[in-house]
Amino acid sequence: MSLKIDQDHGRFRQIVRGRIRQNLRKYISQGELIGRKGKDLVSIPIPQIDIPRFRFGDKQRGGVGQGDGNPGDPLGGSEDKQPGQGQAGSDASDHILEVDVTLDELAAILGEELELPDIQDKGKSKISNAHDRYSGIRRVGPESLRHFKRTYREALKRMIASGSFQPSRPIVVPVPDDKRYRSWKTITEPVVNAVIIYMMDVSGSMGDEQKEIVRIESFWLDAWLTKQYKGLESRFIIHDAIAREVDRDTFFHTRESGGTMISSAYKLCSQIIDADYPADEWNIYPFHFSDGDNWSMDDTLACVELMKNHLLPKVNMFAYGQVESPYGSGQFIKDLKEHFSRDERVVVSEIRDKDAIVGSIKDFLGKGK
Amino acid sequence: MSKFALNTALPRYLRVEQERIEKFAKAFGLDFFPVIFEMLTYDQMNEIAAYGGFPSRYAHWRFGMEYEQLSKSYEYGLSKIYEMVINNNPSYAYLLEGNSLTDQKLVMAHVFGHVDFFKNNFCFRATDLDTRGAIIDPVKKLSGYDPDRRWIDQMANHGARISRHIERWGINKVEAFVDQCLSLENLIDPWQPFTGRQAPRDEEKEDDKPIEVPKLAAKEYMDSYINPEEYLEAQRKKMEQKRPEKKKPEQPERDVLKFLLDHAPLERWERDVLEVIRTEAYYFVPQKQTKIMNEGWASYWHSKMMTEKVLSASEIIDYADNNAGVMATSSGRFNPYKVGVELYRYIEDRWNKGRFGREWEECNDLDAKRSWDMRLGLGRKKIFQVRALYNDVTFIDEFLTPEFVLDQKMYTFGFSGRNDRYEIESREFREVKEKLLFQLTNFGDPYIRVIDANYGNRGELLLEHQHAGLDLRGDYAKETLGALVRAWKRPVAVATKVDNKPVLLRYDGKEHTMTPYKL
């Protein structure tokens, strides 16, 4: 049933959406959304849309209550910012309004706000999902598919045309020629498949703050790519001197130490692609985050080699995000720039702090690949 | 929402209950408008509640916001609206589908209490559509009192007016203006309906009359020689300067919305919107003025009727459970239902036992006071009188006593900056009463008046905040000034105090300034 309020409610949602857009940068850099993620919904706190009036400042006021306690005791339920709610004339309180937004909507807002282009499919969607639909009629077929109504119609047509139909005694008898059968067509739909392979450096030099940045950034990349591709898969690789594949939770919470051999991750990534994601059927997005402090120049060269020969031919885009850490030298990004400065498939971005996440998302997704 | 498309009529078994309860209520002496009960599903209930009780109002997003909050808190099981009743003649009350029979009975009994209050409390006379602006004696009991309070229609008309403007000017434009008006919604004079002094409008007209320069008598063909045009012009200028500069407004005006309606350079549709907002603001004033009394009165009667007449023995536990929820003062909250009902009972008890008057006041013997009982039995009569003649402020001022405060464990609380939390401050009678009265006075809003419409002879609007100890909230004040500038089209300033220093907050449409100010 539609209610009259729906209109006002819709209007309110629209205003809220505007608010979210205005504050998107804040939400992104604070990462507060991720903790509030439900199955498909994200609760977004927005400051209550309050109508400003001439009012008294809040902290001076206080009020009257009822109950036990001595002067100086905190009010029962001191969590409440404004107790005495319901007191005459004050409906004021510092409520934070939480609004549920679907991830899809959120990604749409992200796209609008950052002016992200839609991703252009590069004809890789060859996988097709074939299924049959009964949409036609033919003259031959199994009896089980006989179309009664059409058959009857044909028979009636024939009998009227030949003059054998008697309206007073309307009996219609079909002959084999009248029979019509349902027929199917096989429809093939291209299915767009994409996989994100996240790789993260978990060596000693990556601190909690760096990981938090990666976590926030990957949330948004996930949201955007999920919107672009149905059936997005994610794989996670962590590495220090050796690489291994882990699940999402481990990916974000592991703390390791030790050296860094980036090539180990790239090698594993390449193996995963070869094993599970044939390049002509999948849109592949490897994202690698590190503080850019690779073990040796030799290993860096090995990485370049791996990328050139194994990764780049298969992927849509190779993204490297370098998180600044107090320990890392940050050399790796320079090496990548040196080797791939003219290669469009390689996107690098430096993420200095949380505020830079927005810019880096734009770097990564701004090309629409 | 089309009333006719929905089946909101009460089922038969509830109609029977309604008649039964109505009879009890009348027998107790309650005097109410006809009450029409309707049965709503929870989302209809949320919708109507979001609209402040009215099925049809103007379109605005804040109703949508209300709706979202109500339906969320219902869905999460945090709260549920039991009862809603509109001050209308006849009164409409809504019951929630799916409530237990005991609950429905409770709500009905409660509603009759409210409607009796709507009809008899003097504050609500201000919502009589047929006598507005001309209320002389609000206390006088009229026989066969049957005022026009068709507010449901009135609000629906407001809705139609505003939607016409929206059609013509676009939702964004009208909505933005409604937002601005709502910022000023509380700048009205709650006692205006009772002052009876509508400024006579003719006076103003006299001001605007062109100045007539006395002429020397002359034949028509000689006139231009005897009274030369240049001379007349010079005289006119002279007189104009001499004419005493009339201050506008002559008296400080608390009804800022009225002042804007009369004097601000608004377009026609803007004036219309502002008028709607103002009319509706006045409609809700009596309910804000009598929150404690009204809820207390309805609770008093539901509990009286339920326990003495309506309930069967098997329902008493359900009733008690529910009633306890309504009366709860959890985590130190002030509950108007609770304080209201207790205060009525306290008054009834005092007047039953004759604990009033000079003799009682002057008695210093605590022991005698404790066992004071003159068996007067005047309690019931007294509370009926109180419900007609008081509002929350006078109710508390007159009947809140030290014993009551002690008995009800009332206290004041305030924000402790040191501990960053709200703390109990005091249990002293004087402080509790003072704080409560302060909150109730002007609904806890600051007093703001227009004092000069031509401030600094620049056509600027000057308001004055009558500072009574609390500062205005700064960011809100700025936004509100913005709304005022939008209506007044010239800079607007408000004289107030910040940290005990008199200052002038001024906004000229571009920049906010705060300068020291001397009245």
Q: What is the pLDDT of residues B237-284, one digit of tens each?
A: 777 666 655 667 788 888 999 999 998 999 999 999 999 999 999 999
Identity of the residue in B50, B292, B408 whose CB atom sits nearest the CB atom of A66: B408
Do B397 and B479 lie in a common domain?
A: no
Q: Which residue has the higher pLDDT, A77 or A28?
A: A28
Domain count, chain B: 3
Cβ–Cβ under 8 Å, residues A360 and A25? no
Q: Helix B379-389 and helix B101-120: axis angle, to 10°?
A: 70
Task: Indicate if B23 and B45 belong to the same structural domain.
Answer: yes
Residue type, A249: D
Q: Which amino acid, B93?
A: A
**Distance from chain centroid for Cα A79:** 35
Same domain, yes or no, for B26 and B75? Answer: yes
**Is there a contact between B51 and B60 (Cβ–Cβ < 8 Å)?**
no
Percent of chain A with pLDDT over 90: 8
Domain holding A234: CATH number? Answer: 3.40.50.410
Residue in B50, B292, B332 nearest the CB of A83: B332
Residue A254 lies in a domain: yes
**Are B92 and B51 part of one and the same domain?**
yes
Answer whether residue A133 is part of any domain: yes
Local confidence band at A86 (pLDDT 50, 70, 90 cut-offs): very low
Query: Two tokens at B199?
Result: 């400024």
Q: Quick check: is A65 in a domain?
A: no
Quote the minimal CA–CA distance from A51 to chain B in Å: 6
Instruction: DSSP for B131-192, please give it.
Output: TTT----TTSPPTT------HHHHHHHHHHHHHHHHHHH-HHHHHHHHHHHHHTTT-S-TTH
A155 and A253 in a single domain? The answer is no
| Nearest CA-CA distance, residue B485 and chain A, Å | 14
Which domain-ending residue is among B151, B180, B214? B151
pLDDT given at position B21: 94
**In which region does residue B460 sit, left (phi positive, over 0), alpha (psi from -120 to 50) or beta (all else)?**
beta
Q: Which of B331, B492, B500, B505 has the highest number of chain A CBs within 10 A, making it the mutation to test binding with A?
A: B331
CB contact under 8 A, B409 and A63: no
Is A76 a member of any domain?
no
User: Is A345 part of any domain?
Assistant: yes
Is A85 part of any domain? no
Considering the domain architecture, whether residues A177 and A226 belong to the same structural domain is answered as no
Taking only residues 213 to 232 of chain B, the set having a beta carbon closer than 8 angstroms to any beta carbon of chain A reads: none
In the predicted structure, residue B455 carries a pLDDT above the cut 60: yes
pTM over 0.90: no
Q: Which of B441, B465, B497 is the last residue of a domain?
A: B441
- Indicate if the pLDDT at residue B315 is higher than 70: yes
C-alpha separations of B327 from A69, A76, B307, B336, B393 in Å: 19, 17, 16, 9, 21
- State how far the alpha carbon of A32 is from the alpha carbons of A27, A212, A361, B359, in Å: 6, 11, 17, 67
pLDDT at A95 > cutoff 60? no
Residue A66 is assigned to a structural domain of this protein: no
Statement to judge: residues A209 and A134 lie in one domain: no
CA distance B107 to B310: 12
The answer to whether residue B69 sits within a structural domain is: yes
* Residue A285 β-bridge partners: A196
Helix, strand and coil percent figures for chain A, each rounded to 5: 40, 20, 40
Q: Is residue B386 part of a domain?
A: yes
Q: Is B284 on the interface with A (CB under 8 A)?
A: no
Any domain includes A64? no
Examine the domain organization and report whether A110 and A205 are in the same domain: no
Calpha distance B334→A85 (Å, rounded) = 7
Residues B389, B481, single domain; the answer is no
CB–CB of A251/A238 below 8 Å?
A: yes
pLDDT of amino acid B244: 58
Closest residue in A to B464 (Cα–Cα): A54
Question: Beta strand pairing status for B410-416 and B421-426?
Answer: antiparallel
Structure tokens at B171: 């939702």
Closest-CA residue of chain A to B63: A8
pLDDT band per the 50, 70, 90 thresholds, residue B113: very high
Examine the domain organization and report whether A164 and A249 are in the same domain.
no
Could B336 and A86 be called an inter-chain contact, meaning their C-beta atoms sit closer than 8 Å?
A: yes
In angstroms, what separates the C-alpha of B5 from chain A's closest C-alpha? 11
| pLDDT over 70 (residue A221) | yes
Task: List phi, psi (to 5°) of A169.
Answer: -135, 75
Tell me, yes or no, whether B44 lies in a domain. yes
Which domain covers residue B108, as residue numbers? 3-151
Q: Poorest-confidence range of A64-68, A113-117, B2-6, B103-107?
A: B2-6
**What percent of chain B shows pLDDT beyond 90?**
40
A237 in the same domain as A212? yes
- Looking at residue B155, what is its pLDDT? 94
* B373 vs B368: CA distance, rounded Å: 9
Average pLDDT over residues B432-458: 87
Written as six digits, the tokens of B168 are 């013509």
Please report which confidence band the pLDDT of residue A297 belongs to, taking 50, 70 and 90 as the band edges: confident
Residue type, B299: S
Q: To the nearest whole number, what is the mean pLDDT of chain B?
A: 85
Read off the pLDDT band of B361 (50, 70, 90): confident
Would you tell me how many other CB atoms lie within 10 Å of the CB of residue A149? 8
Residue type, B518: K
Chain A nearest CA to B196, separation (Å):
25
Residues in A touching B415 (Cβ below 8 Å): 58-62
Write down which residue in B441, B469, B502 finishes a domain.
B441
Residue B428 falls within a domain, yes or no?
A: yes
Chain-chain contact of A90 with B423 (C-beta, under 8 angstroms): no
Looking at residues A63-67, what average pLDDT do you find?
80
Kindly state whether residues A326 and A348 are assigned to the same domain.
yes
**Tally of domains in chain A:** 3
Same domain, A282 and A359: yes
SS3 content of chain B, % helix, strand, coil (to 5): 55, 10, 35
ipTM over 0.90: no
Q: Are B89 and B112 found together in one domain?
A: yes
Question: How far is CA B180 from each of CA A27, A51, A52, B183, B261, rounded to the nearest angstrom?
Answer: 28, 8, 9, 5, 14
Which has more confidence, B394 or A48? Answer: B394
Lowest mean pLDDT across A304-308, B148-152, B515-519: B515-519
Band (pLDDT 50/70/90 cuts) for residue B332 is low
Mean pLDDT of chain A: 78
Q: Is B108 inside any structural domain?
A: yes
**Which of A76 and B93 is assigned the larger pLDDT?**
B93
Query: Could you tell me if B13 and B137 lie in one domain?
Result: yes
Domain holding A35, by residue range, is 1-49+96-115
Q: Are A231 and A344 contained in the same domain?
A: yes
Q: Say yes or no to pLDDT of B72 above 80.
A: no
Q: Give the mean model confidence (pLDDT) for residues B343-350.
A: 94
How would residue A121 be classed by pLDDT, with cut points 50, 70 and 90?
Answer: low
> Same domain for A184 and A289?
no
